[in-house]
């Protein structure tokens, strides 16, 4: 693959324009994912209970709160465990008070305090009324932990890829090195083994989208493995992010689907008497594909975080029974936790690869020209 082709793919072929569009859509999704939060009269605040009865709470409940708090979104960022908490801006709108802007530090260092009649719920991911009788909606557009991590990761990723693209443009004819060589290897592998074989002759049109999706998921997965600021957030394990990514793929498939694709759905190659049964099945398959994309990435990344924290939690669970048992199991727990951390590095790539592969396959089925099977895939 020549340097000119790399530059065309990464710079002139619209990759970064697509990347910016995806990041903008994801940012909007995060900003509005809790916008429809409203007071639930039947909801019991987990934080309230933890704030007043933490000393009476069993170790299992405390560890469960820790794990679920990690994989959930939050209005503050525990940068180094709970030693340093970074407050994040809270942006709320209510019909009575209008727009409210304040720091999440007003909810206390552990998020158990009440401020302006509101408190944190769902492990800090949601803001509700302290008075359960209030039913006024709280429109939440806050910059949460996942939102900030998304912004930071997007900026860093764009800087890295723009740096590589400019280096290619500057050093035409020279052999790549370092990070530039890694990016080229990934681009060539995805182009030749995934996009060409899955989509066919029209692969160039969708290369910017698929490259953007792959590098975004891969980088955010890696960033989520860093246990301290600015990492540690569960961005790709958030259903809002995976849902937006799947929605983008669904829109591309729907818009670019050719007549053969839609004919197969609404006029299947079967007796007309079977159409009333086959058409709903085909439509269900069209809707199910992006849902599978969304849930696969969300479930795998979230499960990885939970498993690692679960291994470390065994130390405290057994230590709560007998202190010496906790010390005895700690080497095995730490060893398995470290092993799973290395496995998560592999999973970070695999999940980005699988999401991109399935997206390419769905697009390929939508743009396939049935009467041109003999055309070679160049």
User: Is residue 19 located within the same domain as residue 59?
Assistant: no
115 and 239 in one domain? no
129 and 187 belong to one structural domain? no
Q: Does a structural domain hold residue 214? A: yes
**Residue 295 — pLDDT band, cuts 50, 70, 90?**
very high
Burial track 21-31 (b if 16+ CB lie within 10 A, e otherwise) = ebbeebbebbb
Inside any domain, residue 368: yes
In this prediction, residue 293 has a pLDDT band, given cuts at 50, 70 and 90, of very high
User: Within this chain, do residues 239 and 349 fall inside the same structural domain, yes or no?
Assistant: yes
Listed residues 124, 143, 162: the one ending a domain: 143
Of all residues in the chain, what percent carry a pLDDT higher than 90?
23
Q: What is the pLDDT of residues 337-353, one digit of tens each?
A: 888 888 888 899 999 99
**Is residue 378, in this structure, part of any structural domain at all?**
no
Q: Which domain holds residue 343?
A: 3-26+146-372
Query: Quick one: tokens of 216?
Result: 């975004």
Question: Are residues 257 and 325 part of one domain?
Answer: yes
Q: Is residue 306 part of a domain?
A: yes
Mean pLDDT computed over 268-287: 87
In this structure, the answer to whether residues 91 and 191 fall within a common structural domain is no
Could you say which of 143, 166, 182 is where a domain stops?
A: 143
Percent of the chain with pLDDT strictly greater than 70: 81
My answer on whether 154 and 196 are in the same domain is yes
pLDDT at 252: 93
- 18 in a structural domain: yes
Q: Can you give the pLDDT at residue 370?
A: 66
Residue pair 101/90 in contact (Cβ under 8 Å)? The answer is: yes
Query: Comparing 65-69, 236-240, 256-260, 365-369, which segment has the lowest mean pLDDT?
Result: 65-69
Q: Specify if 377 maps to a domain.
A: no
Judgement on whether residues 138 and 154 belong to the same structural domain of the protein: no
- Does residue 145 surpass a pLDDT of 50? yes
CB atoms within 10 A of CB 309: 17
Query: DSSP readout, 39-79?
Result: --TTPPPHHHHHHHHGGGS-HHHHHHHHHHHHHS--SEEET
Kindly state whether residue 342 falls inside one of the protein's structural domains.
Answer: yes
43/116 same-domain check: yes
Q: Do residues 200 and 262 share a domain? A: yes
| pLDDT number for residue 57 | 65
Q: Which residue has the higher pLDDT, 75 or 80?
A: 75
Same domain, 74 and 94: yes
- Count of structural domains within the chain: 2
Average pLDDT, the chain: 79
Domain assignment of residue 85, yes or no: yes
Decide which of 111, 143, 175 is a domain's last residue: 143
| 230 cis-preceded (ω within 30 degrees of 0) | yes
- Whether 150 and 136 map to the same domain: the answer is no
Please check the confidence at residue 71 and state whether its pLDDT lies above 60. Answer: yes
Report in angstroms the alpha-carbon separations of 53 from 60, 62, 78.
14, 11, 21
């Amino acid at each position: 693959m020549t340097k000119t082709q790399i530059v065309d793919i990464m710079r002139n072929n619209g990759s970064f324009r697509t990347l910016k569009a995806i990041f903008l859509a994801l940012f909007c999704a995060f900003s509005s994912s809790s916008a429809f939060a409203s007071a639930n009269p039947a909801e019991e605040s987990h934080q309230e209970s933890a704030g007043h009865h933490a000393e009476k709470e069993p170790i299992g409940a405390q560890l469960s709160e820790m794990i679920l708090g990690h994989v959930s979104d939050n209005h503050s960022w525990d940068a180094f465990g709970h030693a340093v908490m970074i407050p994040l801006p809270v942006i709320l709108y209510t019909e009575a008070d209008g727009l409210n802007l304040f720091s999440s530090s007003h909810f206390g260092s552990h998020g158990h305090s009440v401020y302006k009649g509101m408190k944190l719920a769902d492990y800090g991911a949601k803001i509700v009324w302290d008075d359960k009788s209030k039913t006024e909606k709280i429109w939440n557009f806050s910059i949460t932990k996942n939102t900030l991590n998304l912004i930071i990761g997007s900026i860093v990723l764009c800087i890295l890829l723009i740096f590589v693209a400019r280096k290619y443009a500057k050093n035409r004819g020279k052999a790549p090195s370092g990070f530039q060589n890694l990016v080229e290897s990934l681009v060539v592998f995805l182009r030749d083994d995934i996009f060409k074989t899955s989509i066919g002759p029209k692969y160039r049109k969708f290369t910017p989208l698929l490259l953007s999706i792959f590098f975004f998921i891969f980088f955010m997965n890696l960033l989520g493995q860093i246990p301290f600021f600015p990492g540690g957030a569960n961005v790709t394990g958030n259903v809002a992010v995976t849902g937006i990514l799947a929605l983008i793929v669904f829109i591309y498939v729907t818009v670019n689907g050719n007549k053969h694709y839609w004919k197969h759905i609404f006029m299947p190659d079967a007796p007309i008497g079977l159409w009333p049964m086959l058409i709903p099945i085909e439509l269900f398959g069209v809707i199910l594909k992006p849902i599978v994309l969304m849930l696969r990435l969300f479930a795998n990344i979230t499960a990885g975080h939970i498993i690692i924290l679960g291994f470390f939690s065994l130390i405290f669970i057994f230590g709560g029974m007998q202190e010496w048992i906790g010390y005895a199991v700690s080497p095995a727990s730490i060893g398995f936790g470290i092993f799973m951390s290395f496995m998560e590095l592999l999973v970070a790539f695999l999940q980005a690869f699988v999401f991109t592969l399935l997206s390419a396959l769905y697009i390929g089925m939508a743009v396939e020209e049935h009467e041109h099977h003999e055309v070679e895939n160049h």
